[in-house]
Amino acid sequence: MKTSYYLSILRRLMSYIRPYMGYLVLSVMTALLSVLATLFFPLLTGRAIDSIAASDGESFVFYLMLMASSAALAALFQFIMNISNNRLAYSVSRDIRKDAFLSMEKLPLSYIDSHPHGDIVSRMVTDTDQVSDGLLMGFTQLFTGIITIVGTLFCMFMVNWRVALVVLFVTPLSLLSASFIAKRTFSLFYKQSSARGEQTAFIDEMVTSADVVSAFGMENGNQKRFDEINGRWASASLLAVFYSSLTNPVTRFVNSVVYAGVALSGAFSCFAALMTIGELSSILSYASQYTKPFNEISGVMTEFQNAMASADRIFRFLDEKKESDDSDKKDVRDTEGAVDFSSVSFSYVPGTPIIRDFTLRAEPGMRIAIVGPTGCGKTTLINLLMRFYDPDSGTISVDGINTADIQRKSLRKRFGMVLQDTWLMTGTVRENLAFGSDVSDERIKETASICHIDGYIASLPGGYDEIISDEGGNISAGQKQLMSIARVMLSDPDMLILDEATSSIDTRTEMIIQEAFQRLMNGRTSFIVAHRLSTIQSADLIIVMKDGVIIESGKHQELLDRGGFYSTLYRSQFS
């Protein structure tokens, strides 16, 4: 990886660390004090040995007490440093994860639709954990390691500069070898993170669609696909760990050379009466302390490379183009419900149009049904109306105001939407029904009764306080759809969008729900997407779409009398 890009990731991380500089300063200070107390210990040990050699019992006891105090202070400062590092690392990871979630909420639907959901989850959860682990190791061992290296080298020069020179000359070998290997690990860790995200996405798909996989007998095929992804992850991980693990044995070898050099040169210095036995003991202890951080730092660099690769994936996610800020747009309230499509064209993929030169006028309170074969653009019209996507050309207006000039949140508040694919959050029945609304319990129960879901809720052990989720096996698709319908009724919208809203409900219940819909749609502009044409016979206007354009429009009986495409569709369902 280019050094400039590596530095840009570090600068980005520093922007998250900056609010917690107090913890960082405290960590550095306590690391310094801990190392100083630790460095003082070998010096006291040497003095104690020399006092034994001189038969000075009083001095020996004095140095022994100082050694105990030094060890206690080192442990205390180490404890404070660890607390500071933990607070710093986990606060940073919390903020990154928070920004990632906020970023996800501001991303256009086109990004969510075109990227595996499991990979998005992996970036927000696993990669953020990798960053916090890397920071924690870095702050815990990097600071103390660097200070220990500098401090022990200084102390060795104070004890005997000749022996210290031996250490100084051999040290660059360890630094160069660690640097050489570290530069080659980033790309491998990035491949590892990418493969992990791909595998998370695949597992997420297979878990949520386990019944479909079993129904089609695709277990073996999915196992092969899983093995292929798992193999790429294993290969990338193996290479990354292999290269990163080379740093430890290489630095250990260099450290052993350092220690041997100190022992030999120190022994010759003792023979030459240039240093005492106690000083030799001290300098050997310093040599051991000096080499230990190189091993720790090599491990830190490995973890840090992993953290940088994960941070890169997270920052790429954060930098994805967001929906434009529309806080300066109009905040519309209490709309009458006049909706105009004027020469609207749209394509998900450039060059492959889905909607072409679409024009439609919906008067306030009209019930407009949209029918047509699969892929004709019915649901796409709903996406455009809700501004999940913006048209490539043409305009969509509500009460004469271009929807592009209206705040997205304000526009979407004006619509109540029930889709074929229902969704329930993990929470109580009451929380799901009142989602996005501030209503009383009486209103919730009344609406549940209208939607004929009150009997099911009463059968639950906790009633309205029962915890449910979208993955709950005890909730049928029909019950989920009834809850979704009740949720929209409680939101009391100005306009309605019903996209196959009764597709998972039995015919008898559907007839009852249609009565509730008739009451709900009264006075509201409603757009009804339906395949079952029996549900839209009372619509004020039925538009028939094919290949992204309107080929027929009119009321139910008018379209039947024409004997066109709608008539063919209708009679095919009742022949």
Average pLDDT for residues 329-335, to the nearest whole number? 86
pLDDT confidence bin for 398, thresholds 50/70/90: very high
- This prediction has a pTM of 0.68
Looking at residue 341, its pLDDT comes to 92
pLDDT confidence bin for 449, thresholds 50/70/90: confident
pLDDT confidence bin for 503, thresholds 50/70/90: low
Q: pLDDT tens for residues 542-556?
A: 998 888 888 988 898
Average pLDDT for residues 157-176, to the nearest whole number? 74
Mapped onto helix, strand or coil, the DSSP state of residue 528 is strand
pLDDT above 90 coverage of the chain, percent:
6
Looking at residue 247, its pLDDT comes to 66
User: Measured between alpha carbons, how far is residue 480 from residues 82, 85, 425, 569 in Å?
Assistant: 48, 46, 11, 29
Looking at residue 393, its pLDDT comes to 92
Q: Is the pLDDT of residue 473 over 60?
A: no
pLDDT confidence bin for 396, thresholds 50/70/90: very high
Q: Taking all residues of the chain, what is their mean pLDDT, rounded to a whole number?
A: 81
| DSSP letters spanning 394-454 | EEEEETTEEGGGB-HHHHHHTEEEE-SS----SEEHHHHHTTT----HHHHHHHHHHTT-H
Average pLDDT for residues 415-433, to the nearest whole number? 83
Looking at residue 402, its pLDDT comes to 92
Residue extents of the structural domains in the chain: 3-318, 339-574
Q: Is the pLDDT of residue 531 over 80?
A: no
Looking at residue 295, its pLDDT comes to 64
Average pLDDT for residues 311-332, to the nearest whole number? 87
Looking at residue 149, its pLDDT comes to 81
Average pLDDT for residues 515-541, to the nearest whole number? 80
Looking at residue 178, its pLDDT comes to 64
Structure tokens at 62: 């004095």
Residue with tokens 């649901």: 379
Average pLDDT for residues 345-362, to the nearest whole number? 88
Pairing label, strands 355-362, 339-346: antiparallel
Q: pLDDT tens for residues 70-102?
A: 888 888 998 998 898 888 888 888 899 899 888
* 499 vs 143 pLDDT, higher one: 499
How many contiguous H segments (helices) and E segments (strands) does the chain have?
Answer: 22, 12
163-172, long-range: CB within 8 Å, 24+ apart, which pairs? 163/262, 163/265, 163/266, 163/269, 163/275, 163/283, 164/283, 166/258, 166/261, 166/262, 166/265, 167/258, 167/261, 167/262, 167/287, 167/290, 170/254, 170/257, 170/258, 170/261, 171/254, 171/258
Average pLDDT for residues 443-471, to the nearest whole number? 85
Q: pLDDT tens for residues 51-60?
A: 776 666 677 7
Average pLDDT for residues 340-356, to the nearest whole number? 88
Of the candidates 159, 167, 198, which has an alpha carbon nearest to the alpha carbon of residue 39? 159
Q: pLDDT tens for residues 365-387?
A: 899 999 888 778 888 888 899 88
Q: Which CATH number applies to 339-574?
A: 3.40.50.300
Q: Is the pLDDT of residue 465 over 80?
A: yes
Q: Rounded to whole angstroms, how far apart are CA atoms 228 and 220?
A: 12
| DSSP letters spanning 174-213 | HHHHHHHHHTTTHHHHHHHHHHHHHHHHHHHHHHHTHHHH
Q: Is the pLDDT of residue 230 over 70?
A: yes
Q: Do 351 and 546 form a contact (C-beta atoms < 8 A)? A: no
122-127, long-range: CB within 8 Å, 24+ apart, which pairs? 122/196, 122/197, 122/200, 122/201, 123/197, 123/313, 123/314, 123/317, 124/97, 124/100, 124/314, 124/317, 125/97, 126/196, 126/197, 126/200, 126/310, 127/193, 127/197, 127/310, 127/311, 127/313, 127/314
3-318: CATH homologous superfamily? ABC transporter type 1, transmembrane domain (1.20.1560.10)
SS3 track for 103-140: HHHHCCHHHHHHCCHHHHHHHHHHHHHHHHHHHHHHHH
pLDDT above 70 coverage of the chain, percent:
89
Average pLDDT for residues 130-159, to the nearest whole number? 79
Structure tokens at 356: 């072409």
